[in-house]
Amino acid sequence: MPETGVPVEELIDDFNRRILPLCTNFGSPQFMGFPDAGNSVAALAGSVAMNFANQNLINQSFCSPVGTLTEIAVIQWLRETVGYDVKGKVNDVWDVGGIIMPGGTGSNTVGMMLAREKKLPGTMQNGVSDLDKCHIVIPKGIGHYSVKSAQMWLGCGNRLIEVETDNYRYDLGALEKVMKERHKDIMGVVAYGGDSRTMTVDNFKAIHEIVRTEDDNIWLHADACHGFSLGFSPRLRHKIEGMELFDSISTDPHKVMATPYVVSALLVKDPAVMKTITSLSDLIMQGKFDFGQITPFLGSRSWNSLKLWLMMRNAGKDGLAELIDHRHDRACYLAERVKGDKDFLLINDVEINSVAFMYMGDMDRTDIEKINKVNKELHELLLREGIFHLHQFSIPDAGKLAKGEIIYPHRFMTGNLRLTTDKIDEMLEYVRQKGKQIENGTI
């Protein structure tokens, strides 16, 4: 810590010279690993304004008299997007039907808390009474870490039931078998509206029918941190049909709406269920619109939703549809390029904006070990050179090489309106060139 203070002008100059050049530029059209562009001018203005206004949304009456109201509006707009009912008049926080959270992990955790309270009412007050009833079902190999973490944070222990998948969706026959055999032990079933690897959207209607046939008391949670945004597009919203039947939905606007980090929202089908996790205090949270009563884990809360309120008003429904269609179309363009090129292998079908692919070159397609080795070295090279960014992860192969084998594809994703097809072509040729050099040992 400095002994003496530094003038603001010097601090800014120091930041610009030494810190900013080393930051990841999520808004660059050459950053293609994640869709979190964060470059909406309206949302950026909101990021500045929220800090200048310095409101605290734990309390409405004297800490955030108008900020709370704009947040309620944002939650209602998101409810409309996913197909939930929207009330004409909101009388208190238990009418809102959602909360703003700092990231999808927080939203998923609150979803699991609601699942626990439905299965074991009164756990908030009395503690977990029967751990054997705290199992959560997820699709095998593609589940997000936050669900497992949530179980443990909530005192339920690691009690995941992983169900086999078919092309990165639940194998419905396998899910039905698990539900018939173990429904009494299950507090929640999680389905993905865009899993965090391939962005595959699950069959929400079928999952709802299978689960409800066996047990009405099991909580259905959709992790749609990415896929909820398909609801903005008249052309693509059919992909999330049935999600509105689920009890709760996680959304991450900072992932898909060009909004700077962080803003997430948990939405619930029945707003009244938030009473099961309400925490009251006569210190600051007594008003009808005090979000502190229904927002677990958080005390003071910044006005994060302001940047989303401004972005959505600025874009309107037409602009939001354009953003979602653009990123989907760019992903489809790359997928077609990869499918028609012998040097690459397409791993997934495009559902939202994700293309998982592998460099193949002249390698033997049965030599999974070598293919993985070359692609991992290729990704490390991309990170070192920093010209283009793609993501990489492990995933069970759905049958493109050897079904069930763990593979390490590159993952393209975008949410950036600045991305052009020319830039995608440039990236693919760069990956080809570097891949051949690694394959041939010339680099």
Per-residue pLDDT of the chain (443 residues; tens, 9 = 90+): 999 999 999 999 999 999 999 999 999 999 999 999 999 999 999 999 999 999 999 999 999 999 999 999 999 999 999 999 998 899 999 999 999 999 999 999 999 999 999 999 999 999 999 999 999 999 999 999 999 999 999 999 999 999 999 999 999 999 999 999 999 999 999 999 999 889 999 999 999 999 999 999 999 999 999 999 999 999 999 999 999 999 999 999 999 999 999 999 999 999 999 999 998 777 777 899 999 999 999 989 999 999 999 999 999 999 999 999 999 999 999 999 999 999 999 999 999 999 999 999 999 999 999 999 999 999 999 999 999 999 999 999 999 999 999 999 999 999 999 999 999 999 999 999 999 999 999 98
Same domain for 196 and 177: yes
Range of the domain at 174: 43-313
For residue 341, the domain's CATH number is 3.90.1150.170
Distance CA 81, CA 416 (A): 21
Tell whether 302 is covered by a domain: yes
Same domain for 218 and 189: yes
Among 298, 313, 328, which residue terminates a domain? Answer: 313
Same domain for 390 and 253: no
Tell whether 35 is covered by a domain: no
Judged on CB neighbours under 10 Å (0-12, 13-18, 19+), 189 is buried
Question: How far out from the chain centre does Cα 219 lie?
Answer: 19
Q: Please report the pLDDT score of residue 139 as a whole number.
A: 96
CB 187 within 8 A of CB 157: no
Same domain for 298 and 330: no
Tell whether 24 is covered by a domain: no
Helix 368-385, helix 421-440: angle, nearest 10: 120
Number of domains in the chain: 2
Same domain for 236 and 335: no
Same domain for 414 and 335: yes
209: helix, coil or strand? helix
Among 264, 292, 313, which residue terminates a domain? Answer: 313
Among 250, 279, 313, which residue terminates a domain? Answer: 313
Tell whether 287 is covered by a domain: yes
Q: Please report the pLDDT score of residue 281 as a whole number.
A: 79
Same domain for 334 and 306: no
Helices (H), 85-195: 93-96, 104-119, 123-126, 145-153, 172-182
Distance CA 56, CA 79 (A): 23
In our burial notation (b when 16+ CB lie closer than 10 A, e otherwise), range 15-53 reads eeeeeeeeeeebbbbbbbbbbbbbbbebbbebbeebeee
Q: Please report the pLDDT score of residue 196 as a whole number.
A: 87
Tell whether 291 is covered by a domain: yes
Tell whether 264 is covered by a domain: yes
Same domain for 178 and 58: yes
Same domain for 300 and 398: no
Same domain for 260 and 197: yes
For residue 221, the domain's CATH number is 3.40.640.10
Tell whether 371 is covered by a domain: yes
Same domain for 265 and 117: yes
What DSSP line would sit under 33-47, residue for residue? S-S-----HHHHHHH
410 CB contacts (<8 Å, ≥6 apart)?
A: 356, 357, 358, 359, 375, 378, 379, 390, 391, 392, 431
Same domain for 215 and 170: yes
Tell whether 112 is covered by a domain: yes
64: helix, coil or strand? coil
CB 365 within 8 A of CB 371: yes
Q: Please report the pLDDT score of residue 283 as a whole number.
A: 77
Distance CA 227, CA 126 (A): 36
Q: Please report the pLDDT score of residue 284 as a whole number.
A: 72
